[in-house]
Structure 1
Amino acid sequence: MLIHPVLLCGGSGTRLWPLSRKSYPKQFAPLTGEKSLFQTSAQRLSGPGFALPVVVTGSDFRFIVTEQLLQVGITPGAILIEPSARNTAPAILAAALQVGGDALVLVAPSDHVIPDAARFREVVRAASGAAQAGQIVTFGIRPDRPETGYGWLELSAQPDADFSPVAQPLARFVEKPDLATAQAMLDGGRHLWNAGIFLFRADKLVEAFKAYQPEILAQVRAALDAAQEDLAFTRLDPAAWGGIEDISIDYAVMEKADNLSVVPYGGVWSDLGGWEAVWREGEGDATGVVTSGEALSIDCENTLLRSENDALQVVGIGLTDMVVVAMPDAVLVAHKDRAQDVKNAVSALKARQVPQAETLPRDFRPWGWYESLVVGGRFQVKRIHVHPGAALSLQSHHHRAEHWIVVEGTAKVTIDDEVKLVSENQSVYIPLGAKHRMENPGKLPMVLIEVQTGAYLGEDDIIRYEDVYARGQGAKG
């Protein structure tokens, strides 16, 4: 029987600020290699025995999902768009209903690190027998430290020394513990980390919601029944979805169900829940220093130094147990022991209405991306990158005019009734109010510099007339 993967990728990952932000959360970033966490998760749950993945995400990320899957050669089975975040219970139930019947469903967050993909797939296949028999299977990770940032699972019996993937009844869920409790559980040998990964028959999960959360079941069914197809996406109905309780799958049904089993996983795993975890997963030198990008360590120990900009040098001197992460618009400096408190810094920045709290300098769109280079009182300079064959919407602006200078490739430019090609080192002027569009007709990326001038330069000053991506009005549509 095929296993149907469900990838959840709606989280914001505030503990990994400033790299991870609401506009582009950690699952889409290349944190531990050249590919994003989302891409490696999709690859890990693909191949023989696995159906095409179902992805549950938010509207702002729908084109990022399709682009990143295309880059690794994976076709999605379905992409469900949540109108608003409602935690894991509604999202998982919607995916189970989408798959339907007695199909096996494997739910996994898209921001975990599991280096040995083949071993993990073997463990999933070993757990499939229990799931086919009607058990809801969760996967417990062998702990190697008294971790207080994870939930734990208490087993009915201690796993064997080899951590064989044999299903056994779950005794209970344990909330994130204090250090003393975590140490006692580690020493006792009957507790595993809760990975938040589940394998079940779709109909068995629906039965669990019918028994313990019938209102949520009715609401999610209504949202799916009234869903609208939008290009390759399925938009869940906003009215039905908006009234659903914000609740995790553990609280909603898992802690109540009597058919839960645990399968131990003895391999390496991390949810990359903070910068201390990124440091731990990195390849450190003899002194425990992990560097990334243009970073230099002098007499440092057990420290993470990371630069996310080739033009920005990060130099650490005499640092111990520190995290330093530099972005073009923000820098984080923290002790590793305080890495979990980064989310508090994000909250403080949001309270001050600082844009860096949630927004990256680079804004990703279905046609490519842009970034602001200089912003003044009545002008803004952007670099715009357009993918081969891609096109921006036909649009106009009430408050600004624009100058475009092509620096790489060739742009096909429409201004009202005129269409022309603009090559490298050529420029064009778009008057205020003119209907205009740029396209990349070539096979290589097209890059241009845009100079905006006007009284208001906000991204919401866009009126769309035609759009190949079927976006509505607004900054992103």
Structure 2
Amino acid sequence: SFAADHVINDERGFRRCVGEAVAAARAGHIATIGITPTEPAVGFGYICADGPAEIDGAPSARKVESFVEKPTLDVAQQYVASGDYLWNAGMFIARADVLIDELRKSEPELTDQIEELAAVWDEPEKRGPAVDRIWPQLKKIAIDYSVAEPAAERGRLVVVPGDFDWDDVGDFSAVAKLHNQGRSDRLAILGDGGTVLADSSAGVVISQSKRIISLVGVKDIVVVDTPDALLVTTTEQAQRVKQVVDAIRRSGNSDVL
């Protein structure tokens, strides 16, 4: 299971880590790939790695002590300095039987529903009615909470450290960094609808309207201009956009989302 919104430039390094994770999965473990931190990022969860897992074919694999939620900056700095923490990139490799076994221990009702769907999946005349009946009732829970964290407590989860070039395109700050090739003194302009006039400014502008956007002397700016809504923030605060989206949804103005 891999996220769709990430960029990996070091394909060889990535393949090596996946190969080790597959070896660990074949040995009966649930494996995850943890990214070696390059900075004390507060936008990621962290994985606390323990000693070597000692698995044939996975020499880099380490036991997972715990998963940690997104930390404050001070805590993230401590994590990075310790060398024992990796970014949780949401990559999981496991045999299906191991995954179901671990899920059953923590979420038995959800597992029963999944297996009920699986039992009729290859029968089109039964699949549709079963999906209509069961799918809306399924508990919405991330694999981190339903499988990974409980498996770590039971000693069944291992992590393969990944030091390959990786970027999570999870917010507009990441978009700016990718398009500006890591430089903080550049302005990335995406979209071909509007006109952007910039003077001594850096960050990212995503324009989907016909408006003229003028930026003067602003750094780390994020502007997303669409025909029906305008977002202005900074690369530092880009992770908080989700809170704005939630507030708009609660206000009943979901037509702009």
Q: TM-score, normalised by structure 1?
A: 0.47
The structure where helix makes up a greater share of residues is 2
Is 1:174 the counterpart of 2:68? The answer is: yes
Matched residue count: 243
| Aligned 8 A contact 1:150 1:176 in 2 | yes
Helix, strand or coil at the partner of 1:109: coil
Q: What percent of counterpart residues are identical?
A: 33
**Alignment-derived partner of residue 186 in structure 2:** 288
What is the Cα deviation at residue 149 of structure 1? 1.5
**Alignment-derived partner of residue 325 in structure 1:** 224
**Alignment-derived partner of residue 148 in structure 2:** 254
In 2, the alpha carbon distance for the partners of 1:337 and 1:235 equals: 47
What is the Cα deviation at residue 118 of structure 1? 4.0
**Alignment-derived partner of residue 209 in structure 1:** 103
**Alignment-derived partner of residue 306 in structure 1:** 206
What is the Cα deviation at residue 156 of structure 1? 0.9
The one-letter amino acid paired with 2:190 is S
**Alignment-derived partner of residue 407 in structure 1:** none
| Aligned 8 A contact 1:307 1:313 in 2 | no
Larger radius of gyration: 1
CA 1:116–1:329 in structure 2 vs 1: closer, same or farther (change >3 Å)?
farther
CA 1:179–1:237 in structure 2 vs 1: closer, same or farther (change >3 Å)?
same
In 1, the alpha carbon distance for the partners of 2:85 and 2:25 equals: 21
Helix, strand or coil at the partner of 1:207: helix
**Alignment-derived partner of residue 55 in structure 2:** none
What is the Cα deviation at residue 312 of structure 1? 4.2
CA 1:236–1:175 in structure 2 vs 1: closer, same or farther (change >3 Å)?
farther
Gap regions ≥5 residues in structure 1: 1-106, 159-163, 359-477
Is 1:140 the counterpart of 2:38? The answer is: no
Q: Relative contact order: is structure 1 or structure 2 higher (C-alpha 8 Å, sep ≥ 6)? A: 2
In 1, the alpha carbon distance for the partners of 2:102 and 2:88 equals: 20
What is the Cα deviation at residue 141 of structure 1? 0.4
The one-letter amino acid paired with 1:145 is E
Q: Aligned to 2:89, which of 181, 195, 207?
A: 195
What is the Cα deviation at residue 234 of structure 1? 7.5
1:10-409 alignment, distance < 5 Å: 107-157=1-51, 166-227=60-121, 229=124, 237-257=131-151, 258-283=155-180, 287-294=185-192, 295-301=196-202, 303-309=203-209, 311-358=210-257
The one-letter amino acid paired with 1:171 is E
| Aligned 8 A contact 2:33 2:88 in 1 | yes
In 1, the alpha carbon distance for the partners of 2:221 and 2:231 equals: 10
**Alignment-derived partner of residue 396 in structure 1:** none
CA 1:236–1:165 in structure 2 vs 1: closer, same or farther (change >3 Å)?
farther
C-alpha RMSD of matched pairs (Å):
2.6
Gap regions ≥5 residues in structure 2: 53-57
In 2, the alpha carbon distance for the partners of 1:343 and 1:254 equals: 24
What is the Cα deviation at residue 225 of structure 1? 2.8
What is the Cα deviation at residue 349 of structure 1? 2.4
Helix, strand or coil at the partner of 2:224: strand
Cα offsets for 1:300-327 (capped at 9, x unmatched)? 13x2122235x44433211122111112
